[in-house]
Amino acid sequence: MKVIEVINPVSGEVINQYNPHTRQEVADKIKQTHQAWELWKETTFTERARLLNQTAELLLQQKGELAKLMAFEMGKPLKAGMAEIEKCSLVCRFYAERAESFLKDELILSDASKSYASFQPLGVILAIMPWNFPFWQVFRFLAPALMAGNCSVLKHASNVPICALAIENIIKEAGFPPHVFQTLLIDSGNVDPVIENPLIQAITLTGSTEAGMKVAEKAGSVLKKVVLELGGSDPYLILKDADLELAAETCVESRLINSGQSCIAAKRFIVVQEVEEKFIQLFKDKMSAKIVGDPLHEKTQVGPLARIDLRDQVHKQVHSSISKGAQCILGGVKPEGSGAFYPPTILTHVTKGMPAYDEEIFGPVAAIISARDEQAAIEIANDSLFGLGAAVFTTDIERGEEIAKKYLNAGSCFVNAYVKSDPRLPFGGIKHSGYGRELGIYGIKEFVNIKTVYVK
């Protein structure tokens, strides 16, 4: 079996290697986790909350060290890495506090003397997670799953095994029973047997649309539930009455989240023609001021992309768009030297048929699309296979809310702010951005048996 290599995206050097788990080792780990679940499902909410709160505390204590792991494995700047760990701690505390009330029995009137819906754990959940937020993506699923009485095995992205094992160690250190959560060191080619394993009850995946389709097909073949949070090409509408300074600042911040490697980062900027010239100048000034560099340096705001092949794919999409008529007014040049760096890039005159319009570009590349008016902007925003997030900028708050609520086709729609996930709010997409929800009360109810109890 091929060795799993950890390659530093700054230097291109191999910094660690792991032997993947064999098929038998994987089966043994799943069995161990199922056996752990037989006991874990009987624990009280109070005990689960105690352990999850301890996890939250450990995360904060170790956030500097954990941020460095992300910097070494996938290039995340230290400040962003520490913020990610703080968010993981927050989601643990949120579910530790709220899970019992979220999952209390719901009385339902019927012809029975007593009838209600009860929410019972399913068992072992397989989590297939990406590299871009190697701690947050795991904990936003794991915290509610554990509080609901489930256990989990994790197939993390192959380029972040150190982070995957660090999560397992934190869960152990917090005092959870052995094997409640385990990491499987396997590549994507060995996921199907895990899905087929009868002890796996459901699957959650965050990743590309292509990966989601494959996992959904396999899960469907064995009749197992799957929650998918997939790619996005989030549109941000800048209307003629927008506060352009606020819009430009917010749009740049969103586009460069995680060095542009975020499913819910702003990617398509749809600007009404009346304010297009002024917005572009503000946007360019703010994008060009961002500091690109080593993620371990304190002042770095944009690190490298996670891998050389990912950087090269972004560059290919940029220049394919240029060849079709887009104009590059910032960046667009692949840096010389080692590392997977790519500069903040702005493309204007973007139209349908270009990768910058039709595809998700997973890097610090902004596509500016001109719209003749508000209605055209809404139509362009919805002219996408994706439907994860969207935002609208306007000083008419009531109209902005109406557009967000009624007219933008996405799972999360924000007004005068960039799209972000929040433990308190449901998160997920529609269309090719997936289905199902994470976070909030809806997230914890995705992986439970909603059981009807009827007493005559």
Side-by-side strand order, sheet with 106-107: 106-107, 114-121, 448-455
Is the Cβ–Cβ distance between 163 and 173 less than 8 Å? Answer: no
CB 271 within 8 A of CB 225: no
Beta bridge partners of 204: 127, 227
260: exposed, middle or buried (Cβ count in 10 Å: 0-12, 13-18, 19+)? buried
State the residue for tokens 């586009």. Answer: 255
User: Which residues lie closer than 8 Å to 349 by C-beta, 6 or more apart?
Assistant: 325, 326, 327, 368, 370
Q: Measure the CA–CA gap between 427 and 92, rounded to whole angstroms.
A: 16
Contact 183, 166 (CB under 8 A): no
H-only helix segments in 62-135: 63-74, 78-102
Rounded to an integer, what distance in angstroms lies between the CA atom of residue 316 and that of residue 426? 34
Distance CA 64, CA 80 (A): 11
Tokens 């903040």 appear where?
344
Asked if 249 contacts 284 with a C-beta cutoff of 8 angstroms, the reply is: no
Quote helix, strand, coil % in the chain, to nearest 5.
Answer: 45, 20, 35
Give strand pairing partners of 390.
413
Q: Which residues are catalytic?
A: 229, 263
Distance CA 98, CA 116 (A): 20
